[in-house]
Structure 1
Amino acid sequence: MDLPSLLAAVERGDDDAALELLYDATADDLAGDDAVALLAAAAKAGRQRVVDWLVVWDVDVDRPWDGGVDPVTWAAENGRHSVLFALLSRSQDPLTEDSPHRRALRIAQEAVASGAGAGAVPPPAHRAIITDLEAELGIHRSPDELMARALVHADPDHDDWFASVWELGRRADRTTFDWALEAARDASDLNRRRFGLDTIHYLDIGFEFAPDQDDVAELPFTDEAVEFLRPLLHSEQDPRALATVIAAFASYCRHPDETVEAVLNHAHHTDPRVRARLSRILHTRTAEHEEALAALLHLAADPVPVTRANALHKLVMSAVDTPELRTVFAAHLTDPYLDARIEAAAGLALRDDERGLTVLKEIRSGFKNMNSPGWGRLGDIDHLLQVRAETTSQGHPTAPAS
């Protein structure tokens, strides 16, 4: 294992390079001191993908780091939520009195009580650690207490916020929905309203992820949620709240075409978060969806790389094939963002355009191994191309599979 190169990749934040280098690591490499040193460096640098890979591949999470530092203690003291839970994923029984889970919970509680990390950027996620560990240990707090934890930093992108809203979303009951609806209607407090809207959204997500969930089952308040959210699609002025409203409406509304029609007018919104949300929701499965097609073509030129890649992906899977669409795909064959470039090439290749096949071949030639970025998506595209070829040989229509 090339530890200097791996440490350099971690230091510069290049997860892709680090994972490509790790592909050739042997069991002996991952059982040695170098792997533990790399785990410590990745954890401290916040390189979560590298941490997750190392933990999954059995690097010793209990072995102390340099200076005798205990990994779980370090992560809990520093509020490193994702690192901590990667480390704890190897723990066998979180309910025992001396488990790492209980130790981490005590450390995080002490950190909050002492005000540790005040003023740090980004703020440590001690409250998220407490929320998630309490849930694992069967301790469930009230919605008001969970919201209070989220609003300490009042950042919807922070782990403290997400842990609270996810814990509430998992409850998927009428009492939590009524509480969230009241919060979402509070025009006097924007952060409280944002949290309420997020909770409404995650109630449906939590329900969908529930074990043994019937695919056609609905929450008892599905219709009520749709009717509450529908007018907000037109009246909501806060961009972050609007992005949540769009996501929640799409989640609760069981009619995809109705969802598309309801949100189309936001494709040209000035806020990138709103456009990003639209790029994940819009679709055009038939040639009649002209407005959706126009919106996706617009989003395919978005300055935010992920948004245009999402839009291009939706266009790839469309049944539409027009000169304008091919022109858009061709324009992105040299897109600096790899995911967008792959989708553009796929869009042409699946329409029997040799330009797409050529670029896919070029991208494939640059792969080092299955940890290379784009490897998985290119595998999906190869499968679609194979299915398309088989369908064509049998004399069936050759529109891209949806």
Structure 2
Amino acid sequence: MREGGLDSRLVSAVRAGDAEAVRALLDEGADPNTADTDGLPVLCVAVAAYDAPVAEALVEGGADPDRTLPDGTNALWRAVDGGSPAVFSAVLGKEPRLRLPEADRERLLALARAWYETGAAEELRRRTGVFGAAATVRVQDDEYDHVDQVSLGGRVVRAGHGAILTSLEWAFRVLTPVDELVTRAVRQPDEIHVDWSAAYWILTERRSFETWSAVVAHRHHPDQAHRRFVVDFLRRRSLLGNSPYYAKKERELLAVWAAEETDGEMLAKVLAAFTQYEHADQEALGLRYTDHPDPRVRREVPYALFTYGVPHTSEARSALITLMRDPDAEVRAAACTAGMHVAARHTEITQAVLLLAEDPDADTRAAAAAALAVSRDGAPAVADALVALSHEESRLARLEAAYGLALRDDPRTAGAVERLGPLGADFEHDHRADVIWRWRRRQEDGDAMTPPAS
């Protein structure tokens, strides 16, 4: 061990799952390839524990994922074998296509493919010789996606080999047919499953028109999971930013699809993707579905009734108010959120939002608090509603209320801020928290903010 026991402390930090301590010790000079008491590199300890943050810290600190172990494997092999896409990504390292010999690349692809095609439970039966039922639980694999964790005969594996295979192929620049990638995604028809996420991510990285065309062709597939995948693919492409060429094609495709779709669940998803684009027929399409029988569809309509927060016509404003009175609480909340930036321009919308401030649904009241907070309507009823909302159980509603009162420099802001309580580090860069902080400073300085114009 090194001077001061750095390597020993590194082993302890890895076992404890303390990624920050691991980074600090590596910065101090600990050996990233330090072996644990059983002789395995600490990177393999992190892989076995499904500890992606620690594995990432070790690899970034210089741990060698390709170092051959006595059994002929290495940390990268074990990460593929273990089935966690998050751990695999952490261990993959830089430039694997250039770093690894072709034979090693082929072996890794074959390993991932064998697990995927055989299935986690069946492969565990083959390896352990135990033929009983496997225990399966759903676990979070990274910040956004989950995966099944399968246990049998004392062995545990995560069934994310489809995602690993997809990611390995892309890392090695193997252009897997689009239809095969979509099939992998919908094998687990769950939009936050690792296989689904890996497929859409890699397909968005493949920027050819041929890839795009092959994906969107699945919108006509009889299996709804394929159609859902297309919507998710288009929605996420819009979030990542498209060229004008693709943006135009996608908004036109979604407009046609929204006009044709008859399934309520699919229509809601198509509308959600469509409203991320600006389209000349956006308002007309929203008006078409204002009274749709499926509340999932109506929840998306408010976002189709405006562009940059401004409904174009009196018909759109009337439809928005109608949706604020919808029997479905989520529809009311969506309508409130969509109308938050126009309430001050139109008294009838402000009045509808004020009614939602007393809605029986807590989430709808929170949406009303957000809308009223940014309203430039100086009417006393708006400030009174914000004071009432500052007593809500929801911290988010109390934050919006205190924020709105601080913007108005209302004399009742102090009570709202006191009821809000400490926000903590999660709100360090929150614009609402910043306004409240500035209000407090003005109070300490004896200064006053000019009330907003009505």
TM-score (norm 1): 0.64
What is the alpha-carbon distance in structure 2 between the residues aligned to residue 67 and residue 143 of structure 1?
39
Q: Which residue of 2 aligns with 1:237?
A: 264
> Aligned pair count?
358
The offset of 1:158, in angstroms, is 0.7
More strand by share: 2
What is the alpha-carbon distance in structure 1 between the residues aligned to residue 29 and residue 406 of structure 2?
41
SS of the equivalent of 1:138 reads coil
Q: Among 242, 248, 259, which residue is 2:273 paired with?
A: 248
What is the alpha-carbon distance in structure 1 between the residues aligned to residue 162 and residue 207 of structure 2?
22
Q: Deviations over 1:121-150 (max 9, x none)?
A: 443121112222222332222221111111
Q: Among 214, 230, 233, which residue is 1:199 paired with?
A: 233
Distance 1:183 1:93, change over 3 A: closer
Q: Deviations over 1:325-361 (max 9, x none)?
A: 51564134x43xx66665554444444322343356x
Does the 8 A contact of 1:172 with 1:204 survive in 2? no
- Of the two, which has the highest radius of gyration? 2
Q: Among 217, 221, 225, which residue is 2:249 paired with?
A: 221
Q: Which residue of 2 aligns with 1:326?
A: 386
Q: Deviations over 1:37-85 (max 9, x none)?
A: 998787666666x558846974847499x99985433321122112221
Does the 8 A contact of 1:135 with 1:167 survive in 2? yes
Q: State whether structure 2 residue 129 is matched by structure 1 residue 76.
A: no
Q: State whether structure 2 residue 175 is matched by structure 1 residue 140.
A: yes
Q: Deviations over 1:351-379 (max 9, x none)?
A: 4322343356x425xx5xxxx5444437x
Aligned ranges for residues 2-401 of structure 1 at < 5 Å? 27-28=27-28, 50-51=53-54, 54=57, 58=61, 60=63, 62=65, 70-88=74-92, 90-98=93-101, 104-117=108-121, 120-122=136-138, 123=148, 124-171=159-206, 175-176=210-211, 178-186=213-221, 188-206=222-240, 208=241, 219-231=247-259, 235-238=262-265, 241-253=266-278, 258=283, 260=302, 262=304, 265=323, 278=334, 282=338, 284-286=340-342, 287-288=344-345, 290=349, 293=353, 301-302=362-363, 316-317=373-374, 319=376, 322-323=382-383, 325-327=385-387, 329-332=389-392, 334-335=393-394, 342-343=399-400, 345-352=402-409, 353-358=413-418, 362-364=421-423, 367=424, 372-377=425-430, 381-382=433-434, 386=438, 398=452
Does the 8 A contact of 2:303 with 2:338 survive in 1? no
Does the 8 A contact of 1:131 with 1:163 survive in 2? yes
Distance 1:395 1:115, change over 3 A: closer
What is the alpha-carbon distance in structure 1 between the residues aligned to residue 74 and residue 356 of structure 2?
49
What is the alpha-carbon distance in structure 2 between the residues aligned to residue 295 and residue 395 of structure 1?
28
Distance 1:347 1:62, change over 3 A: farther
Distance 1:43 1:96, change over 3 A: closer
Q: Deviations over 1:266-295 (max 9, x none)?
A: 9969798x999x599736213247289579
What is the alpha-carbon distance in structure 1 between the residues aligned to residue 237 and residue 59 of structure 2?
29
TM-score (norm 2): 0.58
Distance 1:92 1:269, change over 3 A: farther
If asked which structure has higher relative contact order (CA below 8 Å, sep 6+), I would say 1
SS of the equivalent of 1:77 reads helix
The offset of 1:243, in angstroms, is 4.9
Distance 1:5 1:61, change over 3 A: closer
SS of the equivalent of 2:362 reads coil
The offset of 1:227, in angstroms, is 1.7
Distance 1:331 1:155, change over 3 A: same
Q: Which amino acid aligns with 2:362?
A: A
Does the 8 A contact of 1:76 with 1:107 survive in 2? yes
The percent of aligned pairs where both chains have the same amino acid is 24
Distance 1:327 1:136, change over 3 A: farther
SS of the equivalent of 2:196 reads helix
SS of the equivalent of 2:390 reads helix
Does the 8 A contact of 1:169 with 1:204 survive in 2? no
Does the 8 A contact of 1:180 with 1:196 survive in 2? yes
Does the 8 A contact of 1:76 with 1:129 survive in 2? yes
Does the 8 A contact of 2:179 with 2:215 survive in 1? no
What is the alpha-carbon distance in structure 1 between the residues aligned to residue 249 and residue 337 of structure 2?
22
Does the 8 A contact of 2:408 with 2:451 survive in 1? no
Q: Give the RMSD, CA atoms, in angstroms.
A: 5.4
Q: Which amino acid aligns with 2:183?
A: A
Distance 1:6 1:70, change over 3 A: closer
What is the alpha-carbon distance in structure 1 between the residues aligned to residue 227 and residue 399 of structure 2?
39
Does the 8 A contact of 1:300 with 1:308 survive in 2? yes
Distance 1:249 1:373, change over 3 A: same
What is the alpha-carbon distance in structure 1 between the residues aligned to residue 178 and residue 325 of structure 2?
34
The offset of 1:157, in angstroms, is 1.9
